[in-house]
Structure 1
Amino acid sequence: MTRSLLLCAHGPQSTRGRAALAGLVNAVRREAHDLDVMDAYVDLQEPSIVSTVEATSGPRALVPLMLAYDRSVSVDIVRASHLDPSVTVTPPLGPDWVLAEVGVRRLFEAGARSNDTIVLAADTTTDERALADVAKAARLLSAVWGGRVHVGALGGPDTALVEAVDVARAYGHRVVVSSYLLTAGTAHDAMRECGADVVTDPLLDNNPPDQRLVSLVMARARGEGANTNDLTKASWN
């Protein structure tokens, strides 16, 4: 029986973002010779995760292509997985060391220097779990970069990105924003307007996806996931 791999993401808002995400899905498809790889979405783009689960059968690993916890997305994924007990939900992509490594690559590509002040910028954070995930992402980036990393977000209870950039100015060096985003879109556009000297590209750009991202998706797909039989497991464990 063919096993399926369902890659579930937010629908990118921009053409560039959609192309970048499609590049990742296609790269995973080339890597996963023994899996039937399909993309599905929780918003903005079709097919929906529910319709994809309904249209497939057999063992399916559902990998959330998310960088941090999002309760509304988590609930959508849980509901979709309840449609068939053969669907296993894996942990999401982030936070993870691989994302930190790719984030540092983006910093170097953007021309970041060792004496720059780095601010990891996240999209809107929704709750304490999201805050914890973004904070962990910043710690991992700091460890790989080898210097302190501040945190800012476009919305939610975390420090506003504009404020985080203002605080970073107090160190007297250039401020470089590390975009903790999977693809380009309105969130990345907003990060470019935050007042930083440099803003990095998202983890996925117009180039072929970093092989480490492909390997991370495959690791999630082949690892032990959480079979979400109740809403208490909506945190993706």
Structure 2
Amino acid sequence: MNRRLILCAHGSEAPIGRAAFSGLVNAVRREAQDLDVVDAFVDVQQPRIAEVVGETAGPRAIVPLMLVYDRPVGVDIVQASHLDPDVTVTAPLGPDWVLAEIGVRRLFEAGARSDDTIVLAADTATDDRAVSDVGKAARLLSAVWGGRVHVGTLGGPDTPLVDAVDVARAYGRRVVVSSYVLTPGTVHERMIAAGADVVTAPLLDGGPPDPRLVTLVCARARSRGGWTTVGGDPGPRLARS
């Protein structure tokens, strides 16, 4: 019997967001054919993560498909993993160099230019670790983009996204929001409504998932619980010199 990989995400009420997530899950199934891949959620959608853990057996790894280490990772997912000692939890998907590289690809696809002011937009981040992860995501994006990146969030102690966009206008340049969100849906729509000149697509934009994202998920899956250890951080691949 294959080992089981549980991909756990925030649920989405938007059909386009659900479809984008399903596309990623199916891509991981094709890539990791030695694993039984199932999905689970911490809110909105079913099945919930505790239910999936309770209904499965054997060695399982939960990969949180989340961009920061927030409360659902630290509480909901970890508590579910405690239901069975055969369950391990990997690091969340982000922050990571791969996500920064895809974020820069989205910037190029949106027509961002080197003289634009870039604002990384993230969902609400209230946990200290989540706030730290958002800051790290911005630094990684800055390193790959090759220029300064500001931060705005939809809630929490960081600068509100609307205010961050307003402040960015003081530079007298176009303001481009880099959407640090996995799927289309309500969160991304709020980022679009923040008033920037350009807003990038999410990391999953409705088309086939970026192969680098699929590889990152598989690397997370094999990083703990006696599975193959992931190599060291390779550092950024700069978008331009």
Separation in 1, partners of 2:71, 2:119? 24
2:210 alignment counterpart: 210
Can you list the C-alpha shifts for 1:126-183, whole angstroms capped at 9, x where unaligned? 1221111000000000000000000000011110001111111011100000000001
Separation in 1, partners of 2:45, 2:225? 25
2:139 alignment counterpart: 139
CA contact (8 A) 2:42 2:72 kept: no
C-alpha deviation, 1:8, in angstroms:
0.4
2:89 alignment counterpart: 89
Separation in 1, partners of 2:154, 2:78? 26
2:126 alignment counterpart: 126
Separation in 1, partners of 2:203, 2:13? 16
Q: How many residues align?
A: 226
SS in 2 for 1:19: helix
1:48 alignment counterpart: 48
SS in 1 for 2:17: helix
CA contact (8 A) 1:125 1:157 kept: yes
2:65 alignment counterpart: 65
1:13 alignment counterpart: 13
TM-score, normalization by structure 1:
0.93
Where do residues 150-169 of structure 1 align in structure 2 (5 Å cutoff)? 150-169=150-169
CA contact (8 A) 2:124 2:156 kept: yes
2:230 alignment counterpart: none
Can you list the C-alpha shifts for 1:64-105, whole angstroms capped at 9, x where unaligned? 001012124421111110110000100010000000000000
C-alpha deviation, 1:2, in angstroms:
2.1
The percentage of aligned residue pairs carrying the same residue is: 75
1:192 alignment counterpart: 192
Q: Give 4+ residue runs of structure 1 displaced > 4 Å after superposition.
A: none
- Structure 2 residues without counterparts, runs of 5 or longer: 227-241
C-alpha deviation, 1:220, in angstroms:
0.3
Separation in 2, partners of 1:69, 1:85? 22
Change (3 A) 1:166 1:225: farther
- Structure 1 residues without counterparts, runs of 5 or longer: 227-237
CA contact (8 A) 2:96 2:137 kept: yes
C-alpha deviation, 1:225, in angstroms:
5.8
Separation in 2, partners of 1:225, 1:142? 33
Change (3 A) 1:168 1:139: same
SS in 1 for 2:40: strand
Separation in 1, partners of 2:89, 2:155? 27
2:148 alignment counterpart: 148
CA contact (8 A) 1:91 1:225 kept: no
CA contact (8 A) 1:5 1:36 kept: yes
